[in-house]
Amino acid sequence: MTLHTPPPSNLREIPNPVVAFHRTELGVILSLYGRMVAAGEWRDYGISSLKDVAVFSVFRRTAENPLYRIEKRPSLRGRQGMYAVFGMDGQVLRRGHDLKTVLRVLERKLIRSVQ
């Protein structure tokens, strides 16, 4: 009879990594989110961390499709940029390498709603 012993800790498989927003990225996104909530434009959000993409979805009401999706795809870092903002219909509103620059497309909507 043989006993099964677990492999040493340095030989264990690393679980599939997922893409997630870093604390500084979330700070930028949540700053915009707070201003939009204060303006009465947005009411809820959801965050998804998947194998190849991290998504921050913005909702006007809880039980509907997202108004906007802010995505982080590190695989596109060398090409169009890893950050993108998508509209409700899936159209790319802006894509780029710098998150603050990409989010400006949504800040313009804040300026219009305040006027």
pLDDT digits (tens, 9 = 90+) for 71-111: 999 888 888 889 999 998 889 999 999 999 999 998 876 66
* The predicted structure's pLDDT at residue 85: 95
pTM attached to this predicted model: 0.78
Q: Per the structure block, which two tokens stand in for 16?
A: 């599939």
* The predicted structure's pLDDT at residue 11: 53
33-59 residue pLDDT tens: 999 999 888 889 999 998 999 999 999
Long-range contacts of 105-108 (CB under 8 A, 24+ apart): 106/32, 106/36, 106/68, 107/32
* The predicted structure's pLDDT at residue 99: 92
pLDDT at 115 over 60: no
pLDDT at 9 over 90: no
